Amino acid sequence: MKLYPRRRNQYVFVSLLGVIAVINILFFFILYRPVRSEYFRLQASIEKARADVQSRRLKIERLEKLSAQLETSAQDRQRLYTMHFIPKETGWSAILSKLDAMVQESAVKNSRKDYATGEGAQYGLVSVKIRLPVSGIYPNIMKFINEIEKANTFFIINSIDVRSTESSATPEVLMNLNLETYFYQ
């Protein structure tokens, strides 16, 4: 069978197209697996990045909330100091008048008060130790302790030494009260 040049060119062209198609299919199969694995790796990396972004958002929200709380903590601390502690400049006279008012309110007797400051200031507060001997009948002593507990100023009762006297007609209670309070600077 004799092929005409045109027909032969068509066979050559079709053969060439077939070879190119086979080469393309081979390249597709050769490159498909690495590209597919790279696609899945990138997809996993994107998911990890999304999770990191979400956790960072939560961390930023938490830090912003903490920052807002810290901004108000200085104000809260100052309010606490002014409400429950006495300024150092007026501390001695203020404590004396407060304790005298409590002594009079509870109808106990007090002849003296001993004061001593603690070592150094801590957190802007200076410790003040007070030794307060009082005497009176038992209900009045209890009323005095109750007054100390209800006071706006923080008083810490460190120790109580209690004795009774039977020398008079009405038995009295003698109490040495060791208190602690704080002055703020």
Least confident of 8-12, 57-61, 72-76: 72-76
Is this model's pTM higher than 0.85 or not? no
Average pLDDT of span 8-35: 87
Using a pLDDT cut of 70, give the percent of the chain over it: 91
Length of the chain: 185
- Which of residues 79 and 96 earns the better pLDDT score? 96
Amino acid symbol at 38: E
Tens of pLDDT, residues 67-95: 888 888 777 777 776 666 777 767 777 77
Burial of 108 (0-12, 13-18, 19+ CB in 10 A): buried
Question: Which pLDDT belongs to residue 35?
Answer: 84
Confidence of residue 120 (pLDDT cuts 50, 70, 90): low
CB 155 within 8 A of CB 118: no
Alpha carbons 43 and 39: distance in angstroms, whole number? 6
